[in-house]
Amino acid sequence: MFDNYYWSFLVIRGVAFVIIGIVPVLFALGIRSEKFKGKKALKYLLIIFLIVVFVPIPVQYKDGGTTEYNAPLYRVIRWKQMGFCMREYDDHIDDYWLEGIEFQIIPRNTENINDLTKEYREKTEKNEFVKFVRVYPRSVEGREKPVPTPSGITGTEATPTPETEPTATPEPVEVVTPIEEPAPTATPMPDPGDLPIESVFIFYPELFPVIDSSTARKPITEAIYMELNGVNSVAADNPLCSKTHGAWLNLADKKADIVFLVAPTEEEESYFREKKVNIEMKPYGYDGLGFIVSPECPVQNLTSEQIRGIYECTITNWSQVGGPDADIHPYFRNEQSGSQRLFEGFLWPDGDAPDFSSMLDRFYFADGMSSITEEVARDPYAIGYNIVSYLDLEYEDYIVAVAVDGAKPNTDTFKDHSYPFITTAYVAIRADEAPNSPARRIYDWIGSDMSVQKIESNSSLAVNVGDSEFLIYDGVSQEYDFAGRESRSDKTAKLQANAVLANEAVYASFDFDKDYVYPDDFAGTYIDYDILYVAVTGQQAIDRYAEITDRSPFVRFVVVNNSYNCLMDCVREYAASIKDDYRVTSYGVDTEKNAGVISLDPVDYERFRDSDLAYTYGDLCYVFISEKDIGIYVRPEG
């Protein structure tokens, strides 16, 4: 582009200056001479002259939108570049365009930029990752152009060539040192920990953790990746899609940092135990296992017993379930697939499922989620199964998911649990992920409004984010007999001994005079996995409690606004103020949230939730005591 631009503009400028020099002379002579017969042609030539001199040629560059308008006597540059700013009220990163216009008289724009390109290409050793873009520096007020010295080097005193017989003393040469432009001050990059999750990976894309998933969850992981990275496509190596079994193993082997799939099997749990890897996971929605037939199949409703009979070979003809007189062709998947183990777990919960791979004369094998769907769609006498959210996204108009026990598999029947084959979708990380690690930040982000929107728009899941559950396999906690999944509220009595002992030391330091009144700098404790968190109301209290806990590495401190005493007094007063209208069953303090908690009779809770006293957000119901800056969560008993 530069070659054509340079030479074409050089020719145009040369022609323009010739016309500038000749046309006025001819016009002046022609107007004065009565014998001159080319006056009309001369007028047209004058018009062409004006057009060439004053009508610019637009040129646009691929540098963000810079456009220049070139004419022999002037140039207009309309530049445009991307900028970023952080909104103060929610720390969200907004992008915007910086624009400006520059005007130059008799610009020096005939310099051959190709020469500069070749020079710097040699300096960069023709690196394929280096590209050249034409830009224009803005003028700096007060800057003088350096004057070249006789040596031809700007700002350097010349060294004369020695002669045997100098004939004259050389004239002194004034050396002008160019004014150095101060180096631009780089804008410091924000600390990743200070950025909201929606912005951190835009500034630091290299920190984005490796995501893995089952095939059914691939649309969700891709949507999350693009949302948090601010891009419109995924990377070649992230997110992964290693399917359910492979994703669990990758998490254990640290080849993936966060995974989206169904709960692990006994085989995968044995692998965790072998690797001594503990897992933290939480449910984020309900999906279903749908049983699929071809659109040409007239049977659109089956019972659970009929489906079991088909796969136990007690029902082999469609006429036995209200269809045509034709053999049923049942399809199955490999035993490591998530949908296959769901299928076997639903229909044979005692583990006595048939060995389908040994009966290929009766059953048809399909390896992948797409292959089983496509095979069934082509065969009017086939039946198979697949994850419903996957079917809805990929094969909505291509396959039919039959109703089971009268319920069609969809988001509504997943929510009310009327569909019999419902599965839970989990997001999981290794339990030892640091509190502010990228993987844990995404894990904690699941449940936010934006994450729910991405999940709902990329699946048929009935979104319902629950508490974390812990799978402990490292052998450290055998004293407390960790086994299987535990909710966050059940695990505190079984945590590792170091955190429990530190917690006992904190409470042993209190000298209760009456009614269990705690020190004014104390706001409670809570244990998360193997760490004791001590909430205090001031920085000064940290040293005191650190000494009490013997500066244990299993203790962390959190500075909060309200002490335990202040919260309890406020909750007690508010509970007393509403007890005549609503039956209060209990009240207390939520140390993790530094808030109060009141439990109401379930019937009274519904009335309270609908009253003007309550604020609601999703499933949450709370009140805010503005004069004390304290929030109180209200919930139904149980």
**Range ranked top by mean pLDDT from 74-88, 160-174, 593-607:** 593-607
Residue 50, classed as helix, strand or coil, is helix
* DSSP letter, residue 154: B
Contact 115, 107 (CB under 8 A): no
Rounded CA separation 241/218 (Å): 6
Nearest to 506 by CA among 530, 531, 524, 488: 524
pLDDT band at 97 (very low <50, low <70, confident <90, very high): low
Residue 575 pLDDT > 80, yes or no?
yes
Residue 599, classed as helix, strand or coil, is strand
Mean pLDDT of all residues in 562-579 = 90
Residue 481 pLDDT > 50, yes or no?
no
pLDDT band at 188 (very low <50, low <70, confident <90, very high): low
Contact 630, 567 (CB under 8 A): yes
Residue 243 pLDDT > 60, yes or no?
yes
**Structure tokens that stand for 9 in this block:** 């503009």
Q: Which pLDDT belongs to residue 249? A: 94
Q: Which pLDDT belongs to residue 395? A: 80
Q: Which pLDDT belongs to residue 363? A: 93
Residue 264 pLDDT > 70, yes or no?
yes
% of the chain at pLDDT higher than 70: 71
Nearest to 331 by CA among 301, 362, 352: 362
**Structure tokens that stand for 348 in this block:** 């044979």
Beta strands in 140-278 (DSSP E): 211-213, 258-261
Query: What is the per-residue pLDDT across 412-459, written as a single tens digit (0 to 9) for each?
Result: 898 888 999 998 999 999 988 888 899 999 999 999 999 999 999 888
Contacts of 610 (CB under 8 A, 6+ apart): none
HSE-up of residue 176 (Cα within 13 Å, Cβ side):
12
Contact 283, 424 (CB under 8 A): yes
Higher pLDDT, 495 or 621: 621
HSE-up of residue 333 (Cα within 13 Å, Cβ side):
22
Contacts of 94 (CB under 8 A, 6+ apart): 84, 85, 86, 87
Secondary structure percentages of the chain, helix, strand, coil, to 5: 35, 25, 45
Contact 542, 557 (CB under 8 A): yes
Four-residue CA torsion sign, 556, 559, 563, 568: negative
Q: Which pLDDT belongs to residue 143? A: 37
Residue 153 pLDDT > 50, yes or no?
no
